[in-house]
Structure 1
Amino acid sequence: MSTHEKRRANLRKLLRRQKVDALLVTSFHNVTYLTGFTGDDSYLLVTGDDAVLVTDPRYTTQLEDECPRLRLLVREPGERILPTTAKLLEKKSVGVLGFEEDSLTAGSLRQLKEEAPAVRFEGQAGLVESLRAVKDREEVEAIRHAAYVAKRAFNVVRAAWTPDATEADLARELEYQARRFGGKCLSFPAIVAAGPRAALPHASPTDAVVGDYDFTLIDWGVFAPLYASDLTRMVFHVEPSKKMQKVYSIVLEAQLAAIDAIRPGVKCEDVDAAARNVITKAGYGKEFGHGLGHGVGLEIHEGPRMGRNMPNELVPGMVVTVEPGIYLPGWGGVRIEDDVLVTKTGHELLSDVPKSIESSVL
């Protein structure tokens, strides 16, 4: 069995538990996960003994290269995907069809029901995503590579840093360097926030000149090419003030405590608590207003979520971000983020950009 055939076999086990005859996969990320096909505008029907990709002639050659053993239903030009899918459901004698309720729109579902009146539709949420949360060896290495490309891009930007650069300049340069080192693109629009703007967890880069401030927060990642990385580092243009040294040391202590807590069987909320307790004890609990992290993979935000009221347990193969922060309006903020693999015996850091306060000074 190929990797993708194994994934579909694992999905079939879930379908049997859900008591559905088949699953119509309409999320393009999930189609990629189950087949290796990197295009879009295609649906995958997974039955108990088969898998058929409903696609169109634009992708015929690409599909031959990416997944040559996959059965295809190529619709003719002008033929819409939903009627074609309905005919396939009839041909496969599907009685109960699971559909991805987080992906298929209400309008498409209504039309599909009209085209296939004999089929009973049952919404399914998170089936493929539950499989995607646990990465296999190939996926782990892909994320490790994405973190490496992100590191190389950041190192060039940092080495070429000039005080007259703007936040937007640095964001564009990160994108360029990521592509130069083999990345497909950044895995999200880079967050580059200087001085007080670092208090905005999701700040968009502006024309603010970074040299006008003492520090800059950079949150970036790379798709290289399919799997994502996600990191955050601080860059100091002058020696950090005593206040910055204090805040930075608290955030770093919190991050290291959370990373140390990562191992199989530990609840996501307990890893969050390991970081949150450090920050709260230091008097900044209200200034840490988001969850500790999230899974990464084919998408920049995947399961599991790392935060309060998240009782799900970590298992080997999960890759999560650990990104505590303290944000002080009018002054700035500090966030430190890495990508961490859950191993059989504990954890492994997949990103290795230096993060001591000394290494963060230009």
Structure 2
Amino acid sequence: MSERIEALTEQLGEIGADAIYIVDEINVRYLTGFSGDSSSLLVTPSGAVMLSDGRYKEQLDEECPGLPYEIKSPSQRADEFVAGVLSGSGAAKIAIESNCMTVASFNAIKSKLDGIEWVDTSDIVLRQRMIKDTEEIEVLRSSIRINERALQSVLAKLGPDWTEMEVAYELESTIRRLGATGFSFNPIIGAGPGGAKPHYSPDHTVIGDHPTLLVDWGTNLGGYASDLTRCFHFGNPPAKFESAYQAVLDSQLAAIEAIRPGASARDVDQAARLVLKKAGLDEYFVHGLGHGVGLQIHESPRLSGVSEDILQPGMVITVEPGVYFEGEFGIRIEDDVLVTDEGNEVLSGFPKGLADCHLIL
């Protein structure tokens, strides 16, 4: 973890700051490995110090050995405690995460510190998190494997009388039995018309009452999130299902082929849209192509028509084109893809051919 803090300190000169105060709990975890909450981090050229309270002293010793920390006493106000630590650092220019800190908390700290110049920054750690190191990539691989194994297990026992919510419950239970924390987001289990809503919540709809099923699910393992989507049909699907499914699959494969270091995220998004446009389905693709995954299910970079991101080795991104027919069904195919030095590696291997999506209940 010290390498991540060191990489952050090297950027202080670029933003014109003597120190940076990290309040986003995900960023604190990324930099230190601390999995608790209610804690922040002050980073200076000479190192870092954690700001926490007595509830987490033992946890800090276990998870962050060697990392200095300051513990707030029960009688101290939070703003006074933070102001004291910041003042004691001797920093004259302190950067803050302006997208995470509330105006109220900032003003409370600021009022107790005279002569400090505040530097506004919002994405310095987020940019660092975009590039995954070897350890992060291996955790993501394991998260994806559990995700895939869990769905395979559930599909093997699926029955026509199962509801969408029962599928979700069984999927989460299996994920936990396989050693993960649970879902990385609330899953989308959409039978028939439910699958036509890109951010649908499963309910008591019986899956056997509809010919199609969309499953968008993810696993949280060691704090890291995987994110996959597959679609299935039972018996005879709607007449346009097969042609639309193949178009979405071709769209995804075209986008994956375009992923390489130096590629524009906008161009990758466009590669997918061109395939769907040729199939006459572009109007049914109503969201961006994908996003980064890591400690959060949605991270930078973004794959969309307005993204300014450039792909770099170490980025892990989703590629998830989809088409949605209101009141009928939806089709989305999603994989997690690593940008490599040579091009890309699809980290997920769950079958996705047209023949693979036929289920017998």
Q: TM bucket by the smaller chain?
A: over 0.9
Q: Is the 8 A contact 1:54 1:81 kept in 2?
A: no
For the pair 1:195 / 2:192, whether they are aligned, the reply is: yes
Structure 2 residues not aligned, in runs of 5+: none
Q: Which whole-Å deviations, capped at 9, do the CAs of 1:224-283 have from their partners, x for residues lacking one?
A: 121000000012222434311000000000001101111100000010011011011111
Partner of 1:240: 237
Correspondent of 2:262 among 257, 260, 265? 265
For the pair 1:170 / 2:167, whether they are aligned, the reply is: yes
SS at match of 1:85: helix
SS at match of 2:356: coil
Correspondent of 2:292 among 288, 295, 299? 295
TM-score, with length taken from structure 2:
0.98
Q: Distance in 2 between matches of 1:56 and 1:42?
A: 8
Q: Distance in 2 between matches of 1:97 and 1:359?
A: 55
SS at match of 2:352: coil
Q: Which whole-Å deviations, capped at 9, do the CAs of 1:99-131 have from their partners, x for residues lacking one?
A: 001111111111111122332222101000000
Q: Is the 8 A contact 1:239 1:361 kept in 2?
A: no
Q: Distance in 1 between matches of 2:235 and 2:174?
A: 25
Partner of 1:68: 65
Correspondent of 2:151 among 151, 154, 158? 154
Q: Which whole-Å deviations, capped at 9, do the CAs of 1:190-209 have from their partners, x for residues lacking one?
A: 10110012110000101110
Partner of 1:98: 95
**Given residue 63 of structure 2, which amino acid in structure 1 is its aligned partner?**
E
Q: Is the 8 A contact 1:266 1:314 kept in 2?
A: yes
Correspondent of 2:76 among 74, 79, 83? 79
SS at match of 1:83: helix
Correspondent of 1:24 among 21, 24, 38? 21
Identity %: 43
Q: Which shows bigger deviation, 15-24 or 117-126?
A: 117-126
Q: Is the 8 A contact 2:269 2:304 kept in 1?
A: yes
Shift of residue 62 of structure 1?
Answer: 1.1
**Given residue 258 of structure 2, which amino acid in structure 1 is its aligned partner?**
A
Q: Distance in 2 between matches of 1:14 and 1:23?
A: 10
Q: Is the 8 A contact 1:39 1:59 kept in 2?
A: yes
TM-score, with length taken from structure 1:
0.97
Partner of 1:185: 182
Shift of residue 16 of structure 1?
Answer: 0.9
Q: Distance in 1 between matches of 2:237 and 2:355?
A: 9
Q: Is the 8 A contact 1:215 1:238 kept in 2?
A: no
Partner of 2:252: 255
**Given residue 2 of structure 2, which amino acid in structure 1 is its aligned partner?**
E
SS at match of 1:242: coil
Q: Which shows bigger deviation, 297-306 or 148-157?
A: 148-157
For the pair 1:88 / 2:81, whether they are aligned, the reply is: no
Deviating 4+ runs (over 3 angstroms): 239-242
SS at match of 1:359: helix
